[in-house]
Amino acid sequence: MMRVLKLKYGTSGEKVDAFGIRFYGNIGKEAGRLGKISQMLSDPDMPPMIKNKRITLWFIFEKIRPCADVSSLLNELIARLRGNGYEMMISSLDDLVDTTSPEYAGKAESRFPAYERMIHGYNATCGFSVTAEKKDPKSKLSMAEIETIQKMTIEFSQMVYKRPLKKANH
């Protein structure tokens, strides 16, 4: 049975520091003590959308940050996921901003460096995310595996925010 376990840290709203984890796969009810569980529904006549263990990690920022800095964080997160047996499927820098626009004139953000990997002048971002998959003959996500990724993500968030973020109530 395919389920989604959602964990969130930080506050809700726009322009806040927050991060979250989504686990997709065969997840037992006992994981409900960690976060919210949703049921994935799919067409019974179609092959399953997700065949392997999958996770999505997302991070948003209260204040925009240079794309180059966030890209370095993203690369570090991908390395940590690989160290836990996951392979990246897709990643993104989210809510892109061009701080060379008149809106940022005279503000510190206007001095953010250009980002060579970005077209159209975007050089700042409000967050990032990565989705990764683990090919494993065991389709069920164990509590130990969930807690390992949770711990790794919380430790990584300290590097991102330079402070701990409280777990959101579920």
Residue pair 125/102 in contact by the 8 Å Cβ criterion:
no
How far is the CA of 84 from the CAs of 78, 109, 137, 145, 154, in angstroms?
10, 35, 15, 9, 15
Burial of 19 from C-beta contacts in 10 A (0-12 / 13-18 / 19+): buried
Overall average pLDDT of the 123-142 stretch: 90
* Averaged pLDDT of the chain: 89
Overall average pLDDT of the 123-137 stretch: 92
Task: Enumerate residues 6+ apart whose C-beta is below 8 A from 36.
Answer: 5, 6, 170
CA–CA gap between residue 96 and residue 127 (Å, rounded): 8
pLDDT category of residue 150 using cuts at 50, 70 and 90: very high
| Per-residue pLDDT, 138 | 76
- Extents of the domains making up the chain: 2-161
Percent over 90 (pLDDT), the chain: 68
| Per-residue pLDDT, 25 | 86
Q: What is the 3-state secondary structure (H, E, C) of the chain?
A: CEEEEEEEEECCCCCCCEEEEEEEEEECHHHHHCCEEEECCCCCCCCCCCCCEEEEEEEEEEEEEEHHHHHHHHHHHHHHHHHCCCEEEEEEEECCECCCCHHHCCCHHHHCCCCCCCCCCCCEEEEEEEEEEECCCCCEECHHHHHHHHHHHHHHHHHHHCCCCCECCC
Overall average pLDDT of the 19-48 stretch: 83
Overall average pLDDT of the 10-36 stretch: 91
Burial of 98 from C-beta contacts in 10 A (0-12 / 13-18 / 19+): middle
> Model confidence over 65-94: pLDDT tens digits?
999 999 999 999 999 999 999 999 999 999
pTM of the full structure = 0.90
> Model confidence over 95-121: pLDDT tens digits?
999 998 999 999 999 999 888 776 677
Asked whether residue 170 carries a pLDDT value surpassing 90, the answer given is no
pLDDT category of residue 45 using cuts at 50, 70 and 90: low
| Per-residue pLDDT, 50 | 63
Asked whether residue 42 carries a pLDDT value surpassing 80, the answer given is no
